[in-house]
Structure 1
Amino acid sequence: MYTRKFADYNTAMGEIIMSEETTLEVLLSNEFGLNIPEQFSNISPEDWAKYAFENNLEYAITFYKDQKPYATVSNTTLSISIKYYEEKEGGLKVYLSTNFMKGHIDDGFVPYDNNKIFLSQIDRIGGLGQTILFYSQKKKNNVFSEEFTETNGNVELVEQFGTADLSKHWFDTPKDYLDYEALLDYQNLFNELPSVPA
């Protein structure tokens, strides 16, 4: 269903998908600075993704659907984020993003002990935009929504706090460096979540 490249999206370069080689250079530079270890001097983008997955380091994969960029997964030490694209105004625009936390970050990073990731944020981009944050800490199931609305030409920020059943926000951790198809299907994913407004 999807094809893929080990490449990342870049707004600074003109809202494009970078090449695999450029993406790898950026990732290695971010990880090691100017002192890239010899073992990584000739590593392929896919081999870096495998290594990064096994060692909880950052890598990116862009998935293509019908030969067009569909989404980019960025797997980092703390989280997995997914950006979804549409072609618009001569460029590639992000219209939706999701973020899955891998653990708690209260007193340093502590991975969840249930081999799960937690859907913690949804950003709807376009129009005026909306951000929904989900917090599931101990017995709290807090939801925070931030949305810009326009009435009679006036734009205002509407913030809402509440609680919801967040038990369905837990998902299996990807089994390997390519295992993202279930997370990419955001429409099916959102249909399962009682806390996500239409």
Structure 2
Amino acid sequence: MQLSYLFTTLLAAFAVASPISTASDAAEGAQLATRATEELTAEYRAAQRAISNLQAGKFYWFTIEWDLGEVIPGPTHETPDELKQLQQQLGFDHIGLVVGQVTETKTGKGKNEKIKKDFKASLLHMTKDTKKNTELKGPNYKADRKALIRGGETSKKKVDAAKKAAKDYVAANPVYSVATNNCNTFVQTIKAVVR
């Protein structure tokens, strides 16, 4: 009886100390291998900080805000007094809408496979030009230290419609006004299209 007890104990010890992996160990190892081969662009990381569960091929929108004294992309010609009024009215100097698509590009095979994740987007915002008219800015979005503010998922059709609506808005509202036709009125109008 003692021999069978010792044999059972010995088998149990081998089972505990065994390096045999389980299915969950294999899945975790595969995730680690995948993570090691991923390249995340700065634009993707910025979008991911705002919405953690981004999916390749999907379209998303976000807002972005600049505080008093921060550099706004592209020249803007608001006077210091107008900027102060905007700050008091809105709580920030400037706002824009970022719309685009998450992409995933795979290269290589097997252990050499690499996945590049990107957020290819446009930054739509309206500024005042030198003649006190509205001016549409629509450059490609480049991540900097400005945080994207959580928006949501959208569609290609809505992103295209938002870009058209941005052009139409500026054409229909050519005179800039801190009180009635500023960067925020522009963004709120275009945001309604992309939602």
Common fold: TM-score over 0.5: no
Between Structure 1 and Structure 2, the one with more helix by share is 2
Answer 1 or 2: which has greater strand percent: 1
- Tell which has more relative contact order, 1 or 2 (C-alpha 8 A, sep 6+): 2
TM-score by length of structure 1 reads 0.24
Q: TM-score, normalised by structure 2?
A: 0.25
